[in-house]
């Protein structure tokens, strides 16, 4: 019988995932632990560290009953029957594989700590996204650092939630994947124990079991396929602009093909988020390490097209505004990587803003959920680039002074020459564009990087509008 679960890592995955397990398994005590004191105190407060629709309600129902957040990592690992490891696995920034390989430092230190403190058998669940065959390494660390009395079973249980919809995704997942070693009795029992937890709310036919390596690789493949679809439709958007086709119409036609399905076909300024680029680079590195250069190059193209889409957008803004944005105020609406999240990791807004700042634009940024501090940190951080041919420089100190952040969309757009919509927040569809137009410099431009605005309405007001992948005459003729 599983009585206690410990989740190591209280981030975007660990927090919501462990909370939903607590909600659905009231007889199990769930402790979520983290090395970050500020994160844990935020989880214990009224202002949670991440914004996710529906999350507050779940936390309120379970916190203080069978869900707790703590920095006493060792105590809760010691007591747990099952340990979910939800720590971050970012791209390495230095050393061998820098810019591509996954940095497993956090995972390794969690594994060493588990080995140090455990005195009873444990099931260790890889919830983080990791390179294929990581379980083998983790097992070595656990076995070689423990006293020989404790038995470990390692399972791979990658998480498929999307930010902005994570509670819905966790409550009603299209699949739960459990990879384990079913060749021995201990492995079989561990798989059944984890399966039984999910079976409290997930129909059994949605719980897939595979071997460990298939589960680890499936997660990377899943994200690579999703990102590849976005790069495919974004590549089409460039061709649409060159030929007069309309990418929304092309997407609509593709979506009716039951062999293709309708999701991940929205052309955009580029995909962002902490997962897609990182996981593809991870895949690329694994391919290269296995001598599969052609396969590695195939996946690299997905990221190259994404970088191209962001720089193409910046170029369109600059060329449309008479080849210079120097000294012009440009309002940026939306900074998070997608709507309904405050997460800005790898948001396309960073590269677009840096590109515009490099051309000396003055940016006024508005996002309903992202703080000014976060925006300023993101714009002044120098990121290691995966491919030296696509350098985007961080904003210099002087550039950053050209950035203002507003808490009101009308303030942000006042006296602007142009507006760039970089996140598809619902509120951007319903704001008063006539009022905005009246307060802007003329000609007033709108660059819709998410294809969410009513172009005809904007054109009637008097805006010059550019939408991704839309017929050229739509904006030239205005
Ligand atoms: P995150 O950075 O938000 O959270 C990770 C947390 O782990 C941090 O709070 C950090 O302090 C903590 N941590 C690191 N090392 C620790 C240690 N040794 N002991 C205790 N705590 C430690 O990351 P995230 O977005 O939640 O992602 C976690 C993993 O899940 C990654 O592998 C990611 O690829 C994967 N994933 C993320 C998403 C997503 O949408 N964010 C979706 C699916 C999978
Ligand atoms: C992704 C995967 O979807 C999820 O399964 C995995 O667990 C984590 O990574 P996430 O990054 O949270 O989830 O969001 P997602 O909705 O997939 O969007 C990623 C990026 O692609 C966003 O920037 C989004 O705006 C963009 N996108 C998505 C498009 O540009 N077009 C689309 O059609 C869909």
Q: What is the pLDDT of residues 416-471, one digit of tens each?
A: 999 999 999 999 999 999 999 999 999 999 999 999 999 999 999 999 999 999 97
Q: Could you tell me which residues are beta bridge partners of residue 447? A: 420, 466
CATH for 4-210 is 3.40.50.720
Residues 306, 274, 56, 195: is their CA dihedral positive or negative?
A: positive
Q: Work out the number of other CB atoms within 10 angstroms of the CB of residue 153.
A: 22
Instruction: Say which ligand is closest to the CA of 13.
Output: 1
Q: Note the pLDDT of residue 478.
A: 35
Q: Which residues are part of a known binding site for NAD(+)?
A: 9-14, 34, 39, 87-91, 128-129, 163, 275-278, 345
Q: Tell me if 466 CB under 6 Å of ligand 2.
A: no
Q: Would the CB of 223 count as within 6 Å of ligand 2?
A: yes
Q: What is the pLDDT of residue 477?
A: 42
Cα(216) to ligand 2 centroid in Å equals: 19
Tell me the ligand closest to 42's alpha carbon: 1
Out of 275, 287, 353, 362, the active site residue is 275
Which one of the ligands is nearest to 261 CA? Answer: 2
Would you say 380 and 406 are in contact if contact means Cβ atoms under 8 Å apart?
no
CATH 3.40.50.720 domain locations along the chain: 4-210, 224-474
The dotted CATH code for 224-474 is 3.40.50.720
What's the Cα-to-Cα distance from 429 to each of 214, 246, 263, 332, 339, rounded to whole Å? 42, 20, 21, 15, 12
pLDDT at 397: 57
What is the 303 CA–ligand 2 centroid distance (Å)? Answer: 14
Residue whose CA is at the smallest distance from ligand 2 atom 5 = 160
State the Cα–Cα distance between residues 328 and 321, nearest whole angstrom.
9
With the CA atoms of 422, 391, 403 and 353 taken in that order, what torsion angle do they form, in degrees rounded to the nearest 10?
-10
Check if 334 has its Cβ closer than 6 Å to any atom of ligand 2: no
Q: Please indicate whether residue 275 is annotated as part of the active site.
A: yes
Probe target for ligand 1 pocket from 18, 75, 87, with the most ligand atoms within 8 Å of CB: 87
Residue 273, both tokens: 């988020």
Question: Could you tell me if the CB of 338 is within 6 A of ligand 2?
Answer: yes
- Ligand 1: residue of 11, 103, 278 to mutate (most ligand atoms within 8 A of CB) is 11
Which backbone phi and psi does 388 adopt, to 5 degrees?
Answer: -60, -20
> CB–CB of 462/444 below 8 Å?
yes
Nearest to 437 by CA among 456, 414, 455, 453: 414
In ligand 2, the atom with minimum distance to the C-alpha of 343 is 12
pTM of the model: 0.96
Task: List binding-site positions.
Answer: 9-14, 34, 39, 87-91, 128-129, 163, 275-278, 345
- Residue 385: predicted pLDDT: 76
Distance of CA 140 to the CA centre of its chain: 30
Interhelix angle for 293-320 vs 348-358, to 10°?
50
Residues 152, 143: contact at Cβ < 8 Å? yes
Please name which ligand lies nearest the alpha carbon of 105. Answer: 1
Helix (H) or strand (E) holding 331, with range, is strand 329-333
DSSP E strands: which ranges in 130-186?
152-156, 176-179
Residue 162 Cβ < 6 Å to ligand 2: yes
Q: Is the dihedral of CA 174, 179, 184, 185 positive or negative?
A: negative
pLDDT under 50: residue ranges of the chain: 390, 474-478
Helix (H, G, I), strand (E, B) or coil at 75: helix
Q: Which atom of ligand 1 is found nearest the CA of 106?
A: 15
Q: Say if residues 461 and 433 touch (Cβ distance below 8 Å).
A: yes
Cα(163) to centroid(ligand 2), Å: 8
Does ipTM surpass 0.85 in this model? yes
């Amino acid at each position: 019988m599983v009585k206690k679960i410990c989740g190591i890592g209280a981030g975007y995955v660990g927090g919501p995932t462990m909370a939903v397990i607590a909600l659905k398994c009231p007889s199990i005590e769930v402790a979520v632990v983290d090395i970050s004191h500020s994160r844990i105190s935020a989880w214990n407060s009224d202002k949670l560290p991440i914004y996710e629709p529906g999350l507050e309600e779940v936390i309120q129902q379970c916190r203080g009953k069978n869900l707790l957040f703590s920095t006493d990592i060792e105590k809760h690992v010691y007591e747990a029957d099952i340990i979910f490891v939800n720590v971050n696995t970012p791209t390495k920034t230095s050393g061998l594989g820098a810019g591509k390989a996954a940095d497993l430092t956090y995972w390794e230190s969690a594994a060493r700590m588990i080995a140090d403190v455990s005195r009873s058998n444990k099931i260790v669940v890889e919830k983080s996204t990791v390179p294929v065959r990581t379980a083998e390494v983790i097992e070595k660390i656990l076995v070689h650092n423990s006293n020989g009395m404790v038995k470990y079973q390692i399972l791979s249980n990658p998480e498929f939630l999307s930010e902005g919809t994570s509670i819905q995704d966790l409550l009603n997942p299209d699949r739960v994947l459990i990879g384990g070693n079913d060749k021995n009795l201990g492995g079989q029992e561990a798989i059944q124990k984890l399966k039984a937890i999910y079976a409290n709310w997930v129909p059994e036919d949605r719980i897939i079991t595979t071997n460990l390596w298939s589960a680890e690789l499936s997660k990377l493949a899943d994200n690579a396929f999703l990102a590849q679809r976005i790069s495919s439709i974004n590549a089409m958007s460039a061709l649409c602009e060159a030929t007069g086709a309309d990418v929304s119409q092309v997407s609509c036609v593709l979506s009716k093909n039951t062999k293709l399905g309708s999701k991940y076909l929205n052309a955009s300024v580029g995909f962002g988020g902490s997962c897609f680029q990182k996981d593809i680079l991870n895949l690329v590195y694994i391919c290269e390490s296995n001598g599969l250069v052609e396969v590695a190059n195939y996946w690299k193209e997905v990221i190259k097209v994404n970088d191209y889409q962001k720089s193409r957008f910046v170029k369109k803004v600059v060329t449309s505004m008479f080849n210079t944005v120097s000294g012009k105020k440009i309002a940026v609406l939306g900074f998070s990587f997608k709507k309904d999240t405050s997460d800005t990791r790898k948001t396309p807004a960073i590269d677009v803003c840096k590109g515009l700042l490099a051309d000396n634009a003055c940016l006024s940024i508005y996002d309903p959920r992202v703080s000014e501090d976060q925006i300023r940190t993101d714009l002044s951080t120098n990121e290691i680039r995966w491919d030296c041919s696509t350098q985007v420089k961080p904003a210099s100190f002087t550039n950053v002074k050209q950035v203002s952040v507003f808490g009101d969309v009308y303030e942000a757009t006042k006296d602007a020459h142009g507006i760039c919509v970089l996140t598809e927040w619902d509120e951007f569809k319903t704001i008063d564009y006539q009022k905005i137009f009246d307060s802007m410099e003329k000609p007033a431009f709108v660059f819709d990087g998410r294809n969410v605005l009513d172009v005809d309405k904007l054109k009637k007001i008097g805006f010059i509008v550019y939408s991704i992948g839309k017929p050229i005459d739509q904006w030239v003729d205005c």
